[in-house]
Amino acid sequence: MQQLTMICPHCQKLVTAPRAAAGAKGKCVFCGGVVEVPFRAKNCKVCGKDTAGSPRIKDPQGSYYCVPCYEIAKSRALNAATPIVPQVYFPDGEGG
Ligand SMILES: [Zn+2]
Ligand SMILES: [Zn+2]
């Protein structure tokens, strides 16, 4: 079964959680701190493609982008003059 991986915000260690725990909160096995499990493992925030195994960029919020999408996201942010804020996108939601 595929595991979700994330960095513990308390001890900065790589922790794993079962996919079924996506969106829930869990406990870090190293420090016991509460860790929010991301909805997706390494899916691009722009196009939703799974970036595992391909070149990808991780932003300071921990979101993944494929390289071309990151450029798009960056230029969009510049055009809008607002920083990119982390948001959860759902496939059936409005475009954006
Ligand atoms: Zn920890
Ligand atoms: Zn992408």
Give per-residue pLDDT as tens, 23-70. Answer: 888 899 999 999 888 765 677 888 878 787 788 898 887 888 999 999
Residues sharing a CB contact under 8 Å with residue 70, sequence separation 6 or more, in sequence order: 46, 57, 59
Mean pLDDT over all residues of the chain? 79
E strand or H helix that includes residue 66: strand 64-66
pLDDT at 31: 97
20 C-alpha to ligand 1 centroid (Å): 20
Give the ligand whose atoms come closest to the C-alpha of residue 89. Answer: 2
Does the pTM exceed 0.85? no
Q: Where are the domains of the chain?
A: 1-40, 42-83
Between the CA of 12 and the centroid of ligand 1 the distance, in Å, is 6
pLDDT at position 41, please? Answer: 62
The Cα 87–Cα 89 span in angstroms is: 6
Inform me whether the pLDDT recorded for 95 exceeds 60: no
CA of residue 49 to ligand 2 center, whole Å: 6
The token pair at 68 is 């071309």
